[in-house]
Amino acid sequence: MFAVTAARIDADDPLSGLELGEHPEPNVPGGWTTVTVKAAALNHHDVWTLRGVGISGDRLPIVLGCDAAGYDEDDNEVVVHAVIGDPDAGGGDETLDPRRSLLSERHDGVFAERVAVPRRNLVPKPAALSFEEAACLPTAYLTAYKMLFEKSGVQPGATLLVQGAGGGVATALILLGRAAGYRIWATSRSEAKRDRALKLGADQAFENGARLPERVDVVMETVGQATWAHSVRSLKPGGRIVIAGATSGDAPPAELTRVFFTQLSVTGSTMGTRDQLARLTRFCEQTGVRPLIDRTLPLAHARDGFQAMIKGDLFGKVVFTP
Ligand SMILES: NC(=O)c1ccc[n+]([C@@H]2O[C@H](COP(=O)([O-])OP(=O)(O)OC[C@H]3O[C@@H](n4cnc5c(N)ncnc54)[C@H](OP(=O)(O)O)[C@@H]3O)[C@@H](O)[C@H]2O)c1
């Protein structure tokens, strides 16, 4: 079958290890099943894999891609939960299983015509969402859902700052947060993206590092080093940073004095559970929110999507169709 794989790791030139071509059919262990992929979404995770972050060379070649929607073996329309883990080993939460992985880390991912996944990882796709929209949910939108509704600790009406408006997780935070009644402020490096953030539902948009009209209750951080100091300074005393990513680097000064003196909390967040993914699909059905897709490309043109992501030339998700 046709697939997009990470064949080599190169921290500085990630695209040099990207290969498109024939790959063996999925191996299907007991308790697993095969999904025929109709649409798959790109995440920064796929770029990290090519850079060698979160994976070792002995796992290569491996099919990339965490997020897919398609048909199960009985022709039901499904969304694929990307977390491979045992809820019992994580106290009821598979994201806390110490051995959990994401599709494309230990097992072949979804940038292929077919993918093998544990049976429990199939979630019904709502008819109201297209395959392309549904494929955006399992990583970026699920991460945003958990950041907002499990980790933020604040109720609708609170003010949330989303750093880096254009990203997949960031646009999800704006859309889901707005629909749930939070006041969303956003930052972006680009004026065009700030304008688009406002159109998407952000209440105000600012340049990176800008002084805000007032301090916020929570900062949603996925940019990391480039925005960390601003995140720490933008919070009310007792406020919280929910961090799910560090695209621009993960070693900024920790600002410990400000953290303890203004009694901030820093809360890490990763992915979500299968049940949260099922609730997210219902949230989209009930509110009418649809994932924002920057572009849809044939899987055979996947390199163009990776290139746009590496350049930061995106607003929303890149979707591939096999
Ligand atoms: N913990 C988890 O479960 C989880 C799940 C999903 C993603 N993540 C992580 O979250 C991060 C975002 O993922 P994504 O898929 O949304 O990526 P993406 O679509 O490529 O978005 C990249 C984001 O980073 C911002 N950015 C990049 N470089 C920047 C810089 N130098 N200065 C300021 N902003 C910069 C962009 O903002 P502007 O272009 O608007 O300025 C944009 O918001 C990644 O690091 C990813 O690994 C983690």
In this predicted structure, what is the pLDDT of residue 281? 98
Task: Order the strands of the 62-63 sheet from edge to edge.
Answer: 18-22, 2-6, 62-63
Q: Is 226 in the pocket of ligand 1 (CB under 6 A)?
A: yes
In this predicted structure, what is the pLDDT of residue 291? 98
Class of residue 148 by CB neighbours under 10 A (exposed 0-12, middle 13-18, buried 19+): buried
% of the chain exceeding 70 in pLDDT: 100
Mean pLDDT of 132-139: 98
- Residue among 223, 247, 309 to mutate when testing ligand 1 (max atoms within 8 A of CB): 247
3-state SS, residue 33? strand
Peptide bond into 61 cis (omega under 30): yes
3-state SS, residue 59? helix
Structure tokens at 288: 């009418």
Q: Tell me the pLDDT tens digit for each residue of 150-167.
A: 999 999 999 999 999 999
**Residue 138 CA to ligand 1 centre (angstroms):** 16
What rounded mean pLDDT belongs to the chain? 98
Q: Is 302 in the pocket of ligand 1 (CB under 6 A)?
A: no
In this predicted structure, what is the pLDDT of residue 286? 97
Q: Is 167 in the pocket of ligand 1 (CB under 6 A)?
A: yes
Q: Is 314 in the pocket of ligand 1 (CB under 6 A)?
A: yes
Q: Is 162 in the pocket of ligand 1 (CB under 6 A)?
A: no
Q: Tell me the pLDDT tens digit for each residue of 68-96.
A: 999 999 999 999 999 999 999 999 999 99
Residue-level length of the chain: 322
In this predicted structure, what is the pLDDT of residue 318? 98
Q: Tell me the pLDDT tens digit for each residue of 188-226.
A: 999 999 999 999 999 999 999 999 999 999 999 999 999
Residues 6+ apart with CB under 8 A from 31: 118, 119
Shortest-distance Cα residue to atom 36 of ligand 1:
164
- Work out whether strand 67-71 and strand 62-63 pair parallel, antiparallel, or are unpaired: unpaired
**Residue 44 CA to ligand 1 centre (angstroms):** 7
Mean pLDDT of 122-135: 98
What pTM did the predictor assign? 0.98
Q: Is 143 in the pocket of ligand 1 (CB under 6 A)?
A: yes
Give the separation between CA 207 and CA 204, rounded to whole angstroms.
11
**Residue 74 CA to ligand 1 centre (angstroms):** 36
